[in-house]
A and B are shown apart, each in its own frame.
Chain A
Amino acid sequence: METLNRIVTSSIGRKLVVALMGLLLCGFLVGHLGGNLFLFVGKDAFNAYAHHLETFPLLVPVELGLAGVALVHILVTLYLQLTSLAARPERYAVTQSKGGRTWGSSTMIYTAAAVLLFIVVHVATLKYGARPSPEDLHGLVMRYFSSWGWVAFYAGCMACLGLHLSHGFWSAFQTFGVDHPKYTPVIKGLGTAFAVAVSLAFASIPVWARIAMGGSQ
C-alpha cells in the first residue's frame, strides 16, 4: 500500500506510470500494424482478418483495457504538465536551447494532441463508419483513401506519431532507469528506428491505397 502511495503521489512514480503506459501503447502499435499489413495481401485476407478480430470473444475487455491505458497515459501527463507550469510561474523573456532538446522532445504535447485527434477521427471513420457490406472493411478503407485529403491527414498524423515516439521510446527507458554506456546508444537507436518504421509503415497504407489501387478496389 505504501509502495502504491509512493508511486501515485510522487513525480517520479507518476512518470513511471506514464512510461509504462507509453510502452504498452507501443506494443499495441505493433499489433495494430501487423493486422493492417493484411491490406497488402489482398481484400479477402484483410476482410478475413477483420472478421476474425471482430468476433474475438475478449475483444471488448481488451478494447476497454486499451482505452484505459491510453487514458491514464494522457491524464497523468496532463496533470504533470500542470505541475510543471506551476513550477515556473514567471516565464523567461528569452529562452535558447543549448542542444538538449530535440524536435521530438520539445513537441511532445503537440504531437500528442495530433495523435489524440487522429484516434478520435480514425475510430469514428474506420471502426464505426458505414461499410459497403457488413463483412467488407476493406471496401470502407479503400473508399476513405480514394481521397487525397484523407491520405494527407493520415500521413500527417503518422508523422506526428513518429515524432512523439522518437522521444517517448528512449524517454520511457530512461524513466525506468535503464541506462548503461553500452546499451543506452542501442536503446536510442532502436527508439529512432521504431519511430521511423512504425510511422512510415502506417502512413504507407493510405498512400499505397491511393496510388496503387487508384482508391478503388
Chain B
Amino acid sequence: MKVTLKVWRQKGPDQPGRFEAYDAEVPSTDMSFLELMDTVNEGLIAKGSDAIAFDHDCREGICGMCSQVIDGQPHGPDQGAATCQLHMRKFKDGDVVTVEPFRAKAFPVIKDLVVDRSALDRVVSCGGFISINTGAAVDGNAVPVPKVDAEAAMDAAACIGCGACVAACPNAAAMLFVGAKVSHLALLPQGGPERARRVLGMRQAMDAEGFGHCTNEAECEAVCPKEIKVSNIARLNREFIKALVCSKE
C-alpha cells in the first residue's frame, strides 16, 4: 500500500510554513504511523534533505509528546489512542494524509510538527499540586477514600498532558486539561486544603497563557487519548464557583 503524506514544514518559530507532499510505501499495515514517518525521514536524510521534525518519546501512549493533527484530528482517526498508537491499518491505499502541528497561540510551533507545550506546565505550576511534606509512609487505609471517588480521581489523573484537547477545541481552550488536573486532586482528601487556591491560580494562569474559553463543544473529550470526560470541566466550573463564593483567599 502507498500513501501520500502532506506534512507541514516550518523552519523555525515565527517563520512562514507550507505543506510538502511525500509519497510513502507502507510495507505492512501493522506499522505504526510514527514508524512510517521514520521511514520517510530516512529517505529524506539519505537524499541530504532536512528530516521532518516531530515530537515523540515513549511511543506507547504514556508521555504525551506525539502532538500531531492527522487529517484534521489531533492524534488521528483512532479512538482513545495517541499518535504513536495509531497504525497504518486505519488508512487505505492511495490516501492523502494531511499532517499538521497542534495549533494554538499558547502552543507556538518550534519546527515542523514540534510545538512548545510548556504553557501547560506553567498552568500546573500555579496550583496543580499538593504542598504536603510526605514524611514517613502512612498506613494505606489511614485516610479512607470512597471507591467511586478514587476511580474518578484515577480517571482524571490518566491525563498525559498531550494538549490534544486544546488542539481539537474550536476555541483552543485548555479546560479539559485544567479540569482533569483540578479534578484528580479535588476528589481526594489530600487535595482538599488547597482546593480554592488551586482552582483560582490555575484558572488565572490558563487565561494568561492565551487559551480560549470553553463553549462545551466536547471535541476535547472525543480526541482525548485517555478518554477523559467533560464531567471534569463541570467539576472545574464547580470548584471555581465554590472558590468564588466560599474562599477566604
Contact = CB atoms under 8 A, between A and B. Distances in A.
B45 interface: no
Interface stretch (A39-47, A120-128, A149-157, A175-183): A175-183
Interface string A88-124: 1111111111111100011010000000000000000
19 contacts: A3-B245, A6-B200, A10-B203, A10-B240, A11-B173, A12-B203, A13-B244, A16-B237, A84-B171, A86-B105, A86-B210, A87-B105, A87-B212, A92-B69, A98-B219, A100-B220, A175-B216, A175-B237, A184-B231
Given A88-B171, A94-B69, A100-B222, 11 more contacts: A11-B173, A16-B241, A80-B213, A88-B212, A98-B73, A101-B219, A105-B215, A175-B237, A177-B236, A179-B231, A179-B235
A14 B213 contact: yes
Contacts of A11: 173, 203, 206-207, 211-214
Given A84-B172, A87-B210, A7 B237 contact: no
A73 interface: no
Given A84-B172, A92-B72, A100 B213 contact: no
Nearest to B223: A98
Given A177-B237, A178-B234, A87 B171 contact: yes
B216 A94 contact: no
A87 B102 CA distance: 12
B207 A10 contact: yes
B241 to A, nearest CB: 6
Given A12-B237, A97-B219, A87 B106 contact: yes
Contacts of A164: none
B97 to A, nearest CB: 10
B237 A88 contact: no
A95 B72 contact: yes
A100 to B, nearest CB: 4
Contacts, number: 136
A138 interface: no
Contact of B244 (A6, A175, A178): A6
Given A7-B244, A84-B170, A174 B233 contact: yes
A84 B234 CA distance: 20
Interface in A151-206: 167, 170-171, 174-179, 184
B237 A101 contact: no
A210 interface: no
A95 B100 CA distance: 10
B198 interface: no
Contacts of B210: 86-87
Interface in A38-75: none
Interface of A: 3, 6-7, 10-16, 80, 83-84, 86-101, 105-106, 108, 167, 170-171, 174-179, 184
B241 A177 contact: yes
A100 B221 contact: yes
Contacts of B245: 3
A5 to B, nearest CB: 10
Contacts of B215: 84, 105, 108, 171
3 pairs of A and B residues whose beta carbons are closest in the complex: A177-B238, A96-B72, A179-B234
B98 interface: yes
B204 interface: yes
Nearest to B209: A87
Looking at B71, B215, B219, B223, the one whose CB has the most chain A CB atoms below 10 A away is: B215
A66 B244 CA distance: 26
Contacts of A97: 219, 222
A98 B73 CA distance: 7
B129 interface: no
A100 B72 contact: no
Nearest to A94: B72
Contact of B216 (A87, A95, A170): A170
A15 B171 CA distance: 13
